[in-house]
Amino acid sequence: MTQRQGGTGEVRLLGGEMLNWSDLDGGHGPGPVRGSAAGSFLGVARGRTLIAGPHDPSLLDRVPGATVLVRGVQDAELLAGRGDVTVLCGSVAKLGGEAPFDTIIALAGLECLGTAEHDELTWAEALDALHGVLRPGGCLVLGVENLGGFHRQIAWPRPLDDGQWTPVSDETRPAGLRHLRAAVGAATRAYGIYPGLRDARVVVDEQATGGVVEAALGRAYEGSGVVLADPAAVAVEFVRQGLGVAAAPAWVVIASDDEAALPDVPVDGSAGPVGPTLESLVLRAAGRRNMPQLRELLGQWRNGVAAGVPAGQVVVAASGELVPLVPEGAHSVAVAELAARLYRGGFPHPWVGVRSAAELAGMLEAMTGGPDAATSVPGGDAASSPLVGAAVSVVELVAERERLAGELAEARAQAAFFEEELNAREAEVRQVRRTVELLSGSGPARAGQAFVGGVRAARRVLRRRT
């Protein structure tokens, strides 16, 4: 075993370490575990703790005195420089000589505990290596990507990154949550993680439901890139169907051989107001064509404490009270975002003749009888919102294409109809003109004609002058 000097602390090289490698800088792969929810899992650390795999350095501050295992020397030196940690560098297979730990946290998963320099470990071997240094009655906190998670069904194909030198998992990796729980310990708790281990923002358990969770998911997926389908909408639907853990992009399982040792982790939705989001109620009312309810909801939103708060971030409590979860902005922007949500993605919105999200925003305002609704230019106040008219998924692009094709067919049908109408009116005008000509043979009509002729002549003279 060799020792290397870091900035302020020491790095112990276990063997199998990777010299030209960093997981923390994100240059070779997805980067370290990050996100507000990851902190909750580091918070369960008790006693002597090992944090194995790449975790954002700021997370380590939550576990002073922890031992950290990384595989890249650059990362090891960086972490040693922060102090108050013992840094091990190398393959998980080389941990055998360490004194046992009370808590082992490996949120990035087992896949990034092996190194390119060491013989390829199976998933089970890597798990065994961790179990080998876990004290009886200790806790293992393990992150695992859900290979059956919804995120894989809506993702674009991606090139392999530098860490995927063996790109397909081996047969010892448990298939599904049931097998995973059986593999990691006698007593387990499992949590669903959204959007994923590298950006853990939302934690759900089997009981997860309600507006607070849906709002958190909405925030978690804000600004996510173009994928095949809107991830926030899909995630919300899975949670609603009671599949929030089963379909999650990743799990964190906490395992021990002692049920009593399992800690409680705070989950999203366990606190805060109980009820659906305003957005979900609006979507349902619109989908069910319950326009009176829709008008009432929109009016309540506009005229209450939640005005200006995005509808997906407002919970409608059982009392009917609107509870904002985030600070308010301009109401017109919040309305424009709601309109964009209703308009895009092939949602069967009820507003006939509305041809853009901006127009729909105006309609939503008009439905509340808002004072400015009568005079504002349709979409004028909404056009500044970045969400308006932006398809965020391939599903939406296809839906939009279908809609545009339909609108074009309708426009052609209407053009044909208008042409027929025009022909009919022209025929009528011709007939009326003939009648007028017939009648103009009479004395008073001739006098009238003379007068009109005079006016025309005068007008010609005036035109020449200008």
Residue 243 makes contact with other proteins by CB under 8 A: no
Give the Cα separation of 147 and 157 in Å (integer): 14
Could you say which of 145, 199, 268, 365 contacts other proteins (CB under 8 A)?
365
Q: Taking the mean position of all CA atoms in its chain, how far away is CA 238? A: 13
Stretch that binds other proteins, among 22-30, 192-200, 268-276, 369-377 (CB under 8 A): 369-377
CB of 397 to other proteins, least distance (A): 21
Q: Residue 147 or 377: which CB sits closer to other proteins? A: 377
What mask of x and - would describe binding to other proteins in positions 427 to 466, judged by CB under 8 A?
-x--------------------------------------
Angstrom CA distances, 198 to 26, 68, 112, 251, stand at 10, 18, 12, 12
Residue 368 makes contact with other proteins by CB under 8 A: yes
**Residue-wise burial string across 230-240, b where 16 or more C-beta atoms lie within 10 A, e elsewhere:** bbbbbbbebbb
Stretch that binds other proteins, among 61-69, 323-331, 363-371, 380-388 (CB under 8 A): 363-371
Give the Cα separation of 275 and 323 in Å (integer): 10
Preceding omega of 231 cis (within 30 degrees of 0): no
Write the DSSP assignment of 34-87 as a string of letters: -SHHHHHHHTT--SSEEEES-B-HHHHTTSTT-EEEESBHHHHHHHHHH-SSEE
Give the Cα separation of 115 and 70 in Å (integer): 10
CB of 396 to other proteins, least distance (A): 19
Residue 422 makes contact with other proteins by CB under 8 A: no
| Strand pairing category for 67-70 and 86-90 | parallel
Q: Tokens 């800088």 map to which residue?
A: 25
Q: How many of the chain's residues bind other proteins (CB under 8 A)?
A: 29
Give the Cα separation of 172 and 183 in Å (integer): 10
CB atoms closer than 10 angstroms to residue 466 = 4
- The three-state DSSP-derived secondary structure of 298-334 is HHHHHHCCCCCCCHHHEEECCCCCEEECCCCCCHHHH
Could you say which of 116, 262, 274, 366 contacts other proteins (CB under 8 A)?
366
Could you say which of 147, 182, 405, 411 contacts other proteins (CB under 8 A)?
411
CB of 369 to other proteins, least distance (A): 4
Give the list of residues 6+ apart from residue 262 with CB closer than 8 angstroms, or none: 139, 187, 188, 189, 254, 256
| Element spanning 218, H or E | helix 211-220
Could you say which of 53, 192, 370, 389 contacts other proteins (CB under 8 A)?
370
Residue 423 makes contact with other proteins by CB under 8 A: no
Q: Residue 226 or 415: which CB sits closer to other proteins? A: 415
Could you say which of 147, 155, 398, 409 contacts other proteins (CB under 8 A)?
409
Could you say which of 291, 390, 405, 439 contacts other proteins (CB under 8 A)?
291
Residue 367 makes contact with other proteins by CB under 8 A: yes
Count Cβ atoms within 10 A of the Cβ of residue 441 and give its class: 0-12 exposed, 13-18 middle, 19 or more buried: exposed
Residue 287 makes contact with other proteins by CB under 8 A: no
Stretch that binds other proteins, among 80-88, 130-138, 263-271, 288-296 (CB under 8 A): 288-296
Could you say which of 116, 228, 373, 391 contacts other proteins (CB under 8 A)?
373
Stretch that binds other proteins, among 23-31, 336-344, 352-360, 437-445 (CB under 8 A): 352-360
Give the Cα separation of 81 and 412 in Å (integer): 70
Could you say which of 13, 363, 382, 392 contacts other proteins (CB under 8 A)?
363
Stretch that binds other proteins, among 234-242, 409-417, 443-451, 457-465 (CB under 8 A): 409-417
CB of 422 to other proteins, least distance (A): 14
Give the Cα separation of 268 and 276 in Å (integer): 14
User: Contact positions toward other proteins, by CB under 8 A?
Assistant: 289, 291-292, 295, 350-353, 359, 362-363, 365-370, 373-374, 378, 406-407, 409-411, 413-414, 417, 428
